[in-house]
Amino acid sequence: MTATYRQPGVVLTDHHFTVPLDHDTPEGETIELYAREVVAGDKARQDLPWLVYLQGGPGFGANRFVGRPAWLGRALKEFRVLLLDQRGTGHSTPANRQTLPLRGGPAEQADYLTHFRSDSIVRDCETIRPQLTGGAPWTVLGQSFGGFCAVNYLSTAPEGLSAAVITGGLPSLDAHADDVYRAAYPRIERKVAAHYARYPQDVERARRIADHLLNHEVVLPNGYRLTVEAFQSLGILLGGGEGSHRLHFLLEEAFVRTPQGPALSDAFQEEVQGLLSFAGHPLYALVHEAIYGQDDRPTAWSAERVRAEFPQFDAAKTLTGDGPLLFTGESIHPWMFETDPALRPLRETAELLAARTDWKPLYDSARLAANAVPVAAAVYHDDMYVDTTHSLQTARAIRGLRTWVTDEFEHDGVRAGGPRVLDRLLALTRDEV
């Protein structure tokens, strides 16, 4: 079933596809994928090459654009764009606390979720590509985790690509999750220090909120238990271009006076629950560490274990002195499956995924070393989400890949930079710069 409609300057078409849950068993169970085609209104009838956009995450549906914002306007100058809701996200067959019990118990749910990594997403793309392009290869734009998918694409199905553009998403080819987080915590600490240098008044504000949470039980309106660790995880904002400012504005309105004394304001609680809840993207929490699984070692709640190696992130210890509270970043912890009502029913499923030891390899180093697809990647200097050193090591391992290393943007540069980031990377794939 397809439906075509218009927004200012663009023509949109809804697409629905049926794909195997397990591509190794094509005759078995199937799931549904949704994707939105976007084409410039004045080019709607033209035979244009395709660009498929792979959203960051894991666990997020594609952007719901209105008109031609961010990078989309640049892409529409020459491409017909496909905004794919990766399996389990958006309007594709959902995977969440409401639907996963249809699979059975936690063991069955965990087995099901092993099919929601980059390798399955790439095979989905290769299943639907001939239906849209008539068999012609297309360009892939991979943001963050979408870049992980793009590198898997280059490893497993490069014949499907005319070019690959990656923004903030060159993964390590062989690092265990522990290596990823050992590199991450020092970067996070640097981002927090930069935030406090910009907004020194936030040092005392953050300490006051943390002290309040250590001494009071706070349950947000949606049932989320706001612990001090959950509050610290708001540091994920610091990886975006406007994140430091957003965090500052949030902290400055944290408290109000009440007849019972100071309390966290309704406005603060409302915004915090929107930032912390996984109700809209539970797959992010469920398979986040699994995207690094490639061998017989379990991920075993890597971010939580590695955090213990960095005692400066312990809020209780921090508050015994006068140092600044450290926020954390893009990491998933077992306590999230206790504090968040959207995740609580999935705690045992998450435990089984964390203990799994049969992950398939995601990248083929030999094939990448012989790559013939034009590839360009934006590597953001000191990116909080994806380690720059790991990214540059991978860039050197992919034949012909051209990098643009910049400190002009944070991790969300492809959005914040408007058309400039995509324009430059496309030019790099064409040897125009």
For the chain, the structural domain boundaries read: 3-174+363-429, 177-355
Query: Which amino acid is it at 260?
Result: Q
> pLDDT by residue (tens digit) across 171-213?
999 999 999 999 999 999 999 999 999 999 999 999 999 999 9
Q: Is 431 annotated in the active site?
A: no
Q: Cite the beta strand spans of 153-222 per DSSP E.
A: 161-167
Greatest CA separation for the chain: 70
Instruction: DSSP for 263-313, please give it.
Output: EE-HHHHHHHHHHH--TT-HHHHHHTGGGG--SSS---SHHHHHHTT-GGG
Q: What pLDDT score was predicted for residue 1?
A: 61
Percent of the chain with pLDDT over 70: 100
Percent of the chain with pLDDT over 90: 98
> pLDDT by residue (tens digit) across 74-101?
999 999 999 999 999 999 999 999 999 9
Q: What pLDDT score was predicted for residue 295?
A: 85
Q: Is 358 annotated in the active site?
A: yes
Nearest to 294 by CA among 366, 338, 243, 360: 360
Name the catalytic one among 296, 358, 407, 431. 358
Stated pTM of the model: 0.97
Contacts of 224 (CB under 8 A, 6+ apart): 230, 273, 276, 277, 339, 340, 341
C-alpha 43/C-alpha 9 separation (Å) is 10
Q: Is 411 annotated in the active site?
A: yes
Q: What pLDDT score was predicted for residue 110?
A: 98
- Residue 25's pLDDT band (boundaries 50, 70, 90)? very high
CATH topology of domain 3-174+363-429: Rossmann fold (3.40.50)
> pLDDT by residue (tens digit) across 357-404?
999 999 999 999 999 999 999 999 999 999 999 999 999 999 999 999
Q: What pLDDT score was predicted for residue 205?
A: 98
> pLDDT by residue (tens digit) across 118-141?
999 999 999 999 999 999 999 999
> pLDDT by residue (tens digit) across 275-292?
999 999 999 999 999 999
> pLDDT by residue (tens digit) across 263-276?
999 999 999 999 99
> pLDDT by residue (tens digit) across 135-167?
999 999 999 999 999 999 999 999 999 999 999
The mean predicted confidence, pLDDT, of the chain is 97
Name the catalytic one among 92, 118, 120, 144. 144
